[in-house]
Structure 1
Amino acid sequence: MTKKYDEKEIRADYRRLTKLLIEKKLTITTMESATSGQIASLITDTEGSSAVLKGAFVTYCNEAKIMQGVPAEVIDKYTVYSTQTAEAMAKACTKAYRADIGIGVTGTMGNVDPANPEASIPGQVYFAVEMDGKVRSYYVELKPQPTRRAYKLAVAKEIYDAVMEQMEESQHETAGE
């Protein structure tokens, strides 16, 4: 069964996330490649988001990732499309903005990347979330989507689910201390 991604639901999810971040006084940042700023845009669609989004990077090419703190060696060794690169992206943006939560996302949407053809497989997306000093990485394979925007929203939903899961776990760990 193909997973369905509903834009209205995804936008409502991000409103909930942004309001939760505001309530908990947590800050967030992103370094986005495949989603090219979609995650930051969804966060800022909610009033008051300036209290939580410290800034974001859209690093669409390898050079931009390196300029913002991703080690070139990571990209050279594992390719730009890897959990290691997503983790390095999450760490770099968290550090740059001194945020509580950092998200790094890289992958291939609907077509092969001409700059990285051997590592580029459409629908394969890697992302990582840094929270409480821990980085957790994820890999998803998306079924073909009708548009690039649909791919971005699908990735946004996967990231939302991961962030909420980690926030819940973090809250339980804090409560258990």
Structure 2
Amino acid sequence: MKAEIISTGTEILLGQIINTNSAYLSEKLAELGIDIYFQSTVGDNPKRLAFLLKQALKRSDIVITTGGLGPTVDDITLRTIANTFKRKLIFDKRILFHIKEHFRKRGVEMPPINIRQAYIPEGAVILENRQGTAPGFILEENRKFLIALPGPPSELKPMFEKEVIPFLKSKFGLKEVILTRTIKITGISESAVAEKIEDLLKLKPPLTLGINAHPHEVHLKITAKEKNKKMALVKITKLEKEIKKRLGNCIFGKDKENLEEVLGKLLVKNKKTIAVAESCTGGLIANRITDIPGSSRYFILGIVAYSNQEKIKLLRVPSEILEKYGAVSKEVAEIMAKNIRKIAETDIGIGVTGIAGPKGGSPKKPVGLVYIAISARDKTEVKEYHFLGNRLEIKLKTSQEALDLIRKYLMEK
């Protein structure tokens, strides 16, 4: 069973919005055991969309379109599909009632232009829109299926899960599944990861392993195609164990987990609290930690001491240390970490100082030089880093290494 996705909208082509629908649909179709061979994006042009639809229906069993079902003149998907399939557009009272109800619940009158959305291609299966006004629909032609979905993700996702998935399972008796698991790694380069798992990257279907570099992380994607979910999970779990054996604590999480979420769970598990003293990152580390709901259980205090004066005043860094070693030094980072821990009375303190650039560097202390210190009752450690990139990239890399340093400390407990 082959499927492909056509995303419509000039705004996508111009990069004005990010197309998350294709990624979502590909993942869900893969879980159903349906192969995705093509993804396309086309602007709001009827001729180009019609051409693409005809091409897609020649090579795929299922074609899914997203977007272009709204009431405005640039919403051309509905009429283009009807013309391509040579189907009349039929007015449906039930759809109009649903649209009117949608506006009534919001306390506003339905604009007359929305009546356009009450028309559907003749013979189509209507897909209810529980979040918006544009209905989706399914058309069958010569044992090929076209599924038209609205563009907004908040409308597309519930429609696909509640309407389309049950239809596909019923229509095709889908049993085979494709499952994926993403293993997330940090603190090691893509090439270094590849060297450790080179043989595993050569695996062939039904079990494969892929590698992708992401900002400050490396992701490994395990994909298994099997008769049922249980069998696929057995294969995935076995390969995951082998990867963990080779990469150890460089692995911080999987699937949708992020580093700050994993760190938060470790802090809660170990009943530890933390405080952060930042300079070059400007509060980014504290921001990432507190992005996690419930972080008040472990995050106590964050201080951004950007100037030397505030390092002396707020973090009690001795002026003679600043004069002797400079603000960007392992000595200052260590004192920042120790003192923030004492001031906040936490289990762990983090001190960060560095040069994010683009100016401020020197031959001895170049842009990208960063010191990260961790202080706990049983350990104090300072690490020196030399990051490359622009100002924002250096700040992000610093925050990533700081969070990972705490994670690795907690894993030793």
TM-score by length of 2: 0.37
Deviation at residue 73 of structure 1 after TM alignment: 1.5
Deviation at residue 43 of structure 1 after TM alignment: 0.4
CA separation of 1:5/1:81 partners in 2, compared to 1, >3 Å: closer, same or farther? Answer: farther
Deviation at residue 151 of structure 1 after TM alignment: 1.6
- 1:54-133 map, 5 Å: 54-68=300-314, 69-113=316-360, 120-133=365-378
How big is each residue's C-alpha offset from its partner over 1:39-91, in whole Å with a ceiling of 9 and x where there is no partner?
A: 10000000110111111100011111101211112111111110000001001
Is contact 1:79–1:119 with CA below 8 Å preserved after alignment? no
Give the secondary-structure state (helix, strand or coil) at the position aligned to 1:87: helix
- 1:1-177 map, 5 Å: 6=215, 12-68=258-314, 69-113=316-360, 120-145=365-390, 148-169=391-412, 171=413
Q: Which runs of 5+ in 2 are unaligned?
A: 1-187, 191-212, 219-251
Deviation at residue 5 of structure 1 after TM alignment: 5.8
CA separation of 1:80/1:5 partners in 2, compared to 1, >3 Å: closer, same or farther? Answer: farther
CA separation of 1:67/1:117 partners in 2, compared to 1, >3 Å: closer, same or farther? Answer: farther
1:174 aligns to what? none
User: Pairwise CA RMSD of aligned residues?
Assistant: 2.5
Q: Which moved more, 1:70-79 or 1:86-95?
A: 70-79
Q: Which moved more, 1:21-30 or 1:83-92?
A: 21-30
Is contact 2:267–2:410 with CA below 8 Å preserved after alignment? no
Is contact 1:123–1:143 with CA below 8 Å preserved after alignment? yes
* Larger Rg over CA atoms: 2
Give the secondary-structure state (helix, strand or coil) at the position aligned to 2:262: helix
CA separation in 2, counterparts of 1:97 and 1:15?
A: 22
Is contact 2:266–2:407 with CA below 8 Å preserved after alignment? no
CA separation of 1:118/1:59 partners in 2, compared to 1, >3 Å: closer, same or farther? Answer: farther
1:175 aligns to what? none
CA separation in 1, counterparts of 2:266 and 2:410?
A: 10
CA separation of 1:5/1:107 partners in 2, compared to 1, >3 Å: closer, same or farther? Answer: farther
Percent of aligned pairs with the same amino acid: 34
Q: Which moved more, 1:25-34 or 1:11-20?
A: 11-20
Structure number with higher strand proportion: 2
Give the secondary-structure state (helix, strand or coil) at the position aligned to 1:46: coil
Deviation at residue 117 of structure 1 after TM alignment: 6.4
Is contact 1:2–1:143 with CA below 8 Å preserved after alignment? no
Q: How many residues align?
A: 166
CA separation in 2, counterparts of 1:2 and 1:13?
A: 16
Letter in 2 for 1:93: I
